[in-house]
Amino acid sequence: MHAPDPQFAIEARNIVKRFDGEAAVDGIDLTITKGSIFGILGPNGAGKTTALRMLLGIIDPDEGERFLLGSPDPISKAHQVGYLPEERGLYQSMKAYDAIAFMGALRGLPLAEGRKRGRSMMKAHGLGDATDKQIRQLSKGMAQTVQLLGTLVHDPDLIILDEPFSGLDALNQGKLERLIRDQADKGVTVIFSTHVIAHAERLCEEIAIIADGKVPFKGKVSAARDRLRPQVHLETRNLDGPWRSAIPADCQPLGHNWHFTLPENGVEPLLHALVEGGAGIESLSIERPGLHDAFVQIAGEAVARKMKEDSASNNGDETA
């Protein structure tokens, strides 16, 4: 067995999981540095949840090895881990603060301390009036917040959130993003899966893209974006002239607007050719590609389209 590296919160080497002979996760390698915010991107059914469940020790991989906080037995590190599953669940008859305390107690926090923290955390998150209410009396959003607080109540070193933004309105998505950043500022490693690229782009230093049970890309967000050349958006007064030789031959104008990839030789030769060639520049902007463009390039158009559809069906107010 390979020895775990202490700098990583998670190490997975060639983990495979098959259901009924079909690979849900097909040889994933992942290393997640301690203290980082890490996003796992992919459409529904790509294998994100299965991968997370294997990393957490809920299920065992059929092949490969995984280490969570340096241990091959993830449950033994459960006291240091917080986990919010995709399918939310709480005991309906429990009082809200007690549900938080129970989740802490599962991970080793004394019940009395959990109750104290539960009350103060709920107050801090604007749910002070709901502390003594039963879960069944709370709105869906409030219950989700209670479950999230239960994930954090024992001050974990590693937080794993499976589709945490799913089902939240824009306001609560913003709150959750702040909360994730706060945890990362405290040195906590945060891993979350999502099919909403915007969240990963805003929050993560590193991402892994999962498609069809494989990881075609894993690395820094900037590295994913750097896989594509910057895009040029140009508006000219003239439609023809010697300057056209500076524009890729297959680029067709949309009115007086031109959109093309920045040539290999950079901005200055392009600008020189446009000015000297009499293009009559009205406006010129050069944009670095977004993570979405990188995702399309890495995972393919079909996967990106599916992810957008998943996002639309799960959350009407979200956009990929």
Partner 1 sequence: MIETIRAAFVIARRDFTAIIFSKSFFFFLLGPLFPLGIGVAAGGLGSQVSRDIETTTIGIVLSPEEAEKLLATRARLSLSLGPKSLPDLLILNDVQDREADIVAKLDSDKSINAILSGTLEKPVLTGSQRDVGRWQGKIALLAETAIAQPVPVEIETRLVGQTGSSSERGQLLTAQGAQAILILLTMILAGMVLSNLVEEKTNKIIEILAAAIPMDAIFLGKLFAMLGMALVGIAVWSTLGLSVSLLVGVHWNALPVPAVGWPLFIILMIFYFSMAYLLLGSLFLGIGAMATTVREVQTLSMPVTMGQLLVFFLAYSSITKLGEPVEWFAVLFPFSSPFAMIARAAQMDNIWQHGLALVWQAIFTMIIIRFSVMLFRRNVMKSGQAARKKSLFARVTGK
What is residue 120's three-state secondary structure?
Answer: helix
Nearer to partner 1, 58 or 262 (CB): 58
Rounded to the nearest 10 degrees, how much is the dihedral formed by the CA atoms of 55, 152, 93, 142?
Answer: -110
* Secondary structure (DSSP) of 129-159: GGTTSBGGGS-HHHHHHHHHHHHHTT--SEE
55 phi/psi in degrees, rounded to 5: -65, -35
Nearer to partner 1, 54 or 207 (CB): 54
Site string for partner 1, 269-298 (x = CB under 8 A): ------------------------------
Nearer to partner 1, 60 or 129 (CB): 60
Nearer to partner 1, 78 or 299 (CB): 78
Nearer to partner 1, 94 or 228 (CB): 94
What is residue 89's three-state secondary structure?
Answer: coil
- Pick the closest to residue 204 from 217, 215, 193, 216 (CA basis): 193
Nearer to partner 1, 108 or 174 (CB): 108
Q: How far is the CB of 67 from partner 1 (least distance, A)?
A: 16
Nearer to partner 1, 102 or 192 (CB): 102
User: Rounded to an integer, what is the distance from CA 109 to the centroid of its chain?
Assistant: 28
Should residue 48 be labelled a site residue for partner 1 when binding is judged by CB under 8 A? no
Token digits for 308? 């957008």
- Identify residues 5-44 at the interface with partner 1 (CB under 8 A): 17, 19-20, 24
Should residue 56 be labelled a site residue for partner 1 when binding is judged by CB under 8 A? yes
Q: How many CA atoms lie within 13 A of 214 on its CB side?
A: 6
Q: How far is the CB of 5 from partner 1 (least distance, A)?
A: 23
Part in contact with partner 1 (CB under 8 A); list of ranges 50-58, 163-171, 196-204, 207-215: 50-58
- Pick the closest to residue 103 from 60, 147, 68 (CA basis): 147
Q: How far is the CB of 85 from partner 1 (least distance, A)?
A: 4
Q: How many CA atoms lie within 13 A of 106 on its CB side?
A: 15
Question: Which H helix or E strand runs over 81?
Answer: strand 81-84
What is residue 88's three-state secondary structure?
Answer: coil
Should residue 57 be labelled a site residue for partner 1 when binding is judged by CB under 8 A? yes
Should residue 161 be labelled a site residue for partner 1 when binding is judged by CB under 8 A? no
Nearer to partner 1, 56 or 188 (CB): 56
Q: How far is the CB of 90 from partner 1 (least distance, A)?
A: 7
- Identify residues 82-111 at the interface with partner 1 (CB under 8 A): 83, 85, 87-94, 102-103, 105-108, 111
Should residue 264 be labelled a site residue for partner 1 when binding is judged by CB under 8 A? no
Strand-pairing partners, residue 28, are 15
Q: How far is the CB of 40 from partner 1 (least distance, A)?
A: 16
DSSP label of 254: B
Residue 190 CB neighbour total at 10 angstroms:
26
Token digits for 205? 């230093």
Q: What residues line the site for partner 1 (CB under 8 A)? A: 17, 19-20, 24, 50, 53, 56-60, 75-76, 78, 81, 83, 85, 87-94, 102-103, 105-108, 111
